[in-house]
Amino acid sequence: MSEPQSPRPFTQSGGTLAMIRVALVNLGLSMVTLSLWRFWGRTRVRRLLWGGVSAWGDPVEYTGTGKELFMGFLMVLVVIYLPLALGFGWAQTLTAAGDPRGPLVISLLYFVTILLVAAGLYRARRYQMSRTRWRGIRGGQTGSALGYAARSLLVWLLLPLSLGWAWPWGEMMLARYRFNHTTFGDHPLSCDAHAGGLYGRFALVWLSGLGFLLIAGFAVWVAADAASIGQMDETVATGLVVVILLMVSVIVLALPWAWYRAGFYRRLAGGLSFQGARFAADFRTARLIRLVVGNMLISLFSLGILRPWAALRTFRYACSAIQVEGVPDFDAIHQNTETGPKAGEGLISVLDGAGEF
Is residue 153 in a domain?
yes
pLDDT for 238: 76
Q: How many Cα atoms are found within 13 Å in the side-chain-facing hemisphere of 288? A: 19
Q: How many C-beta neighbours within 10 Å does residue 146 have?
A: 13
Element holding 276 (H helix, E strand): none
| One domain for residues 237 and 159 | no
Q: How many Cα atoms are found within 13 Å in the side-chain-facing hemisphere of 337? A: 0
Residue-range definition of the domain harbouring residue 174: 69-193+339-357
| One domain for residues 144 and 220 | no
Is residue 258 in a domain?
yes
Per-state percent for the chain, helix, strand, coil, to nearest 5: 65, 10, 25
pLDDT for 55: 95
Q: How many domains does the chain have?
A: 2
| One domain for residues 198 and 182 | no
Q: How far is residue 107's CA from residue 196's CA, in Å, rounded to a whole number?
A: 34
DSSP 345: -
**Domain limit, last residue, from 230, 246, 265:** 265
pLDDT > 90: percent of the chain: 62
Band (pLDDT 50/70/90 cuts) for residue 349 is: low
Q: How far is residue 116's CA from residue 150's CA, in Å, rounded to a whole number?
A: 10
| One domain for residues 114 and 103 | yes
Cα–Cα distances (Å) from 66 to 36, 93, 107, 204, 342, in that order, read 10, 38, 35, 44, 12
Say which residues have a Cβ less than 8 Å from residue 164's Cβ, sequence separation at least 6.
Answer: 206, 209
Say which residues have a Cβ less than 8 Å from residue 245's Cβ, sequence separation at least 6.
Answer: 212, 215, 216, 219
**Domain limit, last residue, from 227, 245, 265:** 265
Q: How many Cα atoms are found within 13 Å in the side-chain-facing hemisphere of 301? A: 7
Write the pLDDT tens digit of every residue in 134-187. 999 999 999 999 999 999 999 999 999 999 999 999 999 999 999 999 999 999
| One domain for residues 186 and 222 | no
| CA 80 to the chain's CA centroid | 22
Question: How high does pLDDT run on average in the chain?
Answer: 89
| One domain for residues 137 and 237 | no
Is residue 135 in a domain?
yes
Is residue 138 in a domain?
yes
Spatial strand order in the sheet of 182-184 = 10-12, 53-55, 58-62, 132-134, 137-141, 182-184, 187-188
Q: Is the pLDDT confidence value at 226 over 80?
A: no
pLDDT for 348: 55
Is residue 320 in a domain?
no
pLDDT for 5: 57
Is residue 297 in a domain?
no
- Which region, left, alpha or beta, applies to residue 333 given φ > 0 means left and ψ of -120 to 50 means alpha? beta
Torsion of Cα atoms, 54 then 175 then 352 then 296, to 10°: -60
| One domain for residues 100 and 178 | yes
| One domain for residues 91 and 188 | yes
| One domain for residues 101 and 206 | no
Is residue 91 in a domain?
yes
| One domain for residues 187 and 198 | no
